[in-house]
Structure 1
Amino acid sequence: MRKPEKPSSREPDREPRVQFAALPWRRNGGGGVEVLLITSRDTRRWVIPKGWPMAGKSAAKSAAREAFEEAGVQGKIAKRPMGTYAYDKRLKNGRLQHVRVAVFPLQVDSEADAYLELGQREKLWLPPPEAARCVEEPELMVLLATFQP
């Protein structure tokens, strides 16, 4: 009997893992909605703040914490996700991991001058349809393009 082949580092792990993301948003001076995109640290793609579950924190609180650490934004986080999207994350060992991300709207009321990842990422506030054109993940594009607080 043959041993099953190990997946190559290019092949994603089949079992998706879960991450939690915040979709930071605000109203601009004219009353229109803007959402915040940030760059990823490694590939410099436009993304939203997200991360792995945190011990002792709900999904929504984990998402809010990521938004503060990665973008310095704080505010009122929704208790329920507005939707999900999937992507493949490159792990430190080189493997790809399927990830399913639950997205929680975060109404921003303040932006900190200092936060954990300051200087490691760029930030960009855009109307949702414009933000949708900046991201690569098709399901995230739809979430952004159709976002209404």
Structure 2
Amino acid sequence: MLVRSSKQKHWVVPKGISEPWLTLQASAAKEALEEAGVEGEVASNSLGSYKYEKWGSECTVQVYPMQVKRVIPEDEWEERHRGREWLSPDKAIERIKQAELKPMIKKLAKMVEKKKSKK
């Protein structure tokens, strides 16, 4: 799932500042709920990280996969002005701006396929 950036300029994965009292995974779950309106189980291992400029400094984003268990209805989702969209890995790769995210999306797609083939 991708969401529109806060300024509606491009599509991104949910992300935000890691709260010092939360684990990285709990912070990822919090941001997914706030920015994408989804709840679920965040994996213990990240897919990787990337850096970008914001507020005049460099921010590092650690990307965690989440198995979504619940999608908050549109009318209950606080940040619905952002927009959200489920996409195939190929479509997500086409749409995102951050080149560093593209291999992480491919990695996630392979993980999902591997998990499906074990069932």
TM-score by length of 1: 0.67
Distance 1:45 1:129 in 2: 17
* 1:64-120: CA deviation from partner (whole Å, max 9, x where unpaired): 00000111100111112111122222x2xxx3x2122111100001111223312x2
Shift of 1:43: 4.4
1:141 equivalent in alignment to 2:102? yes
Tell me the equivalent position of 2:115.
none
Aligned to 2:66: 106
* Equivalent residues of 2:47, 2:107 under 8 A apart: no
Does residue 46 of the first structure (1) align with residue 11 of the second (2)?
A: yes
How many aligned positions are there?
Answer: 108
Counterparts of 1:126 and 1:43, CA distance in 2 = 18
Aligned-partner SS, 1:85: strand
Match of 1:37 in 2: 2
Does residue 43 of structure 2 align to residue 71 of structure 1? no
Q: Secondary structure at the match of 1:69?
A: helix
Distance 1:134 1:64 in 2: 23
Shift in Å, 1:54: 1.0
TM-score, scaled to structure 2: 0.83
Distance 2:92 2:48 in 1: 16
Instruction: Look up the match of 1:3.
Output: none
The residue matched to 1:101 in structure 2 has which SS? strand
Structure whose alpha-carbon radius of gyration is higher:
1
Q: Give RMSD over aligned pairs.
A: 1.4
Aligned-pair identity in percent equals 33
Q: Deviations over 1:108-139 (max 9, x none)?
A: 01111223312x20111111121011111111
User: Which stretches in structure 1 are left out of the alignment for 5+ residues?
Assistant: 1-35
Select the structure that is richer in helix. Answer: 2
Structure 2 residue aligned with 1:132: 93
